[in-house]
Chain A
Amino acid sequence: MFNSSLKELSALLSGRKTSSVELTQEFLKRIDAKNPELNAFITVDHDKSLAQARAADTLISAGKAQPLTGIPFAQKDIFCAKDWITTCGSRMLSNFVSPYDAHVIERFNAAGAVNLGKTNMDEFAMGSSNETSHYGPVRNPWDKKAVPGGSSGGSAAAVAARMAPAATGTDTGGSIRQPAALCGISGIKPTYGLVSRYGMIAFASSLDQGGPMAKSAEDLAWMLNLMVGFDARDSTSLDRPFEDYSRDLDLPLAGLRIGIPSEYFAQGLSSDVERVVLEAIRFYEKLGATVVDVSLPNTKLSIPVYYVLAPAEASSNLSRYDGVRYGYRSPEYSDLTEMYENSRAEGFGAEVKRRIMVGTYVLSHGYYDAYYIQAQKLRRLIARDFSESFEKCDVIMGPTSPSTAFDIGEKGDDPVQMYLSDIYTIAVNLAGLPGMSIPAGFGANGRPIGLQIIGNYFSEAKMLNVAHQYQKSTDWHRQMPSI
Chain B
Amino acid sequence: MSISLNEVKRIASLARIAVSDVEAEAARAQLDGIFGLIEEMQAVDAGDIEPMSHAQEIVLRLRNDAVTEVDQHEAFQKGAPEVEAGLYLVPQVIE
Q: Which of A300, A341, A377 contacts B49 (CB 8 A)?
A: A377
Q: Mark A235-254, 1 if CB is under 8 A from B, else 0.
A: 11010000000000000000
Q: Which of A301, A336, A344, A379 contacts B52 (CB 8 A)?
A: A379
Q: In the complex, what residues of A have CB within 8 A of residue B38's CB?
A: 304, 307-308, 358, 362, 371
Residue B11 interfacial (CB < 8 Å): yes
Interface SS, B side: loop
Do A324 and B81 contact each other (CB < 8 Å), given the known contacts A238-B56, A380-B52, A416-B37? yes
Q: Mark B28-64, 1 if CB is under 8 A from A, else 0.
A: 0011011111111110101001111111101011010
CB <8 Å contact, A378 and B41: yes
In the complex, A96→B62 CA distance in Å? 31
CB <8 Å contact, B27 and A354: yes
Do A97 and B91 contact each other (CB < 8 Å), given the known contacts A193-B55, A356-B17? no
CB <8 Å contact, B56 and A432: yes
Residue A3 interfacial (CB < 8 Å): no
Do A323 and B81 contact each other (CB < 8 Å), given the known contacts A376-B52, A381-B46? yes
In the complex, A316→B54 CA distance in Å? 16
For residue B67, give the distance in angstroms from its CB to the closest CB of chain A: 15
Q: In the complex, what residues of A have CB within 8 A of residue B66's CB?
A: none
Q: In the complex, what residues of A have CB within 8 A of residue B80's CB?
A: 324-326
CB <8 Å contact, A416 and B56: no
For residue A78, give the distance in angstroms from its CB to the closest CB of chain B: 17
In the complex, A296→B52 CA distance in Å? 18
Q: In the complex, what residues of A have CB within 8 A of residue B54's CB?
A: 206, 236, 432
Q: In the complex, what residues of A have CB within 8 A of residue B16's CB?
A: 319, 322, 337, 340-341, 344
Q: Which of B30, B90, B91 contacts A354 (CB 8 A)?
A: B30
Do A236 and B58 contact each other (CB < 8 Å), given the known contacts A344-B18, A414-B33? yes
Interface SS, A side: helix
Q: In the complex, what residues of B have CB within 8 A of residue A198's CB?
A: none
Within 8 A of B (CB), among A113-134: none
Do A338 and B14 contact each other (CB < 8 Å), given the known contacts A206-B53, A238-B56? no
Do A325 and B88 contact each other (CB < 8 Å), given the known contacts A354-B27, A356-B15, A416-B33? yes
CB <8 Å contact, A304 and B41: yes
For residue A142, give the distance in angstroms from its CB to the closest CB of chain B: 30
Residue A225 interfacial (CB < 8 Å): no
For residue A334, give the distance in angstroms from its CB to the closest CB of chain B: 7
CB <8 Å contact, B63 and A232: yes
Q: In the complex, what residues of A have CB within 8 A of residue B46's CB?
A: 374, 377-378, 381
For residue B5, give the distance in angstroms from its CB to the closest CB of chain A: 13
Residue A424 interfacial (CB < 8 Å): no
Do A360 and B49 contact each other (CB < 8 Å), given the known contacts A97-B79, A206-B55, A371-B38? no
CB <8 Å contact, A360 and B14: yes
For residue A47, give the distance in angstroms from its CB to the closest CB of chain B: 20
Q: Nearest CB to that of A305 among chain B residues?
A: B41
CB <8 Å contact, B91 and A335: yes
In the complex, A467→B61 CA distance in Å? 35
CB <8 Å contact, B19 and A235: no
Residue B93 interfacial (CB < 8 Å): yes
Q: Mark A196-238, 1 if CB is under 8 A from B, else 0.
A: 0000000000110000000000000000000000001001101
Q: In the complex, what residues of B have CB within 8 A of residue A344's CB?
A: 15-18
Q: Nearest CB to that of A380 among chain B residues?
A: B52
In the complex, A192→B55 CA distance in Å? 7
Do A358 and B17 contact each other (CB < 8 Å), given the known contacts A304-B41, A326-B80, A374-B41? no
Residues of chain A whose beta carbon lies under 8 Å from any beta carbon of chain B: 95-97, 99, 192-193, 206-207, 232, 235-236, 238, 300-301, 303-305, 307-308, 315, 319, 322-327, 329, 333-342, 344-345, 348, 353-354, 356-358, 360-362, 364, 370-371, 373-381, 383, 413-416, 419, 430-432
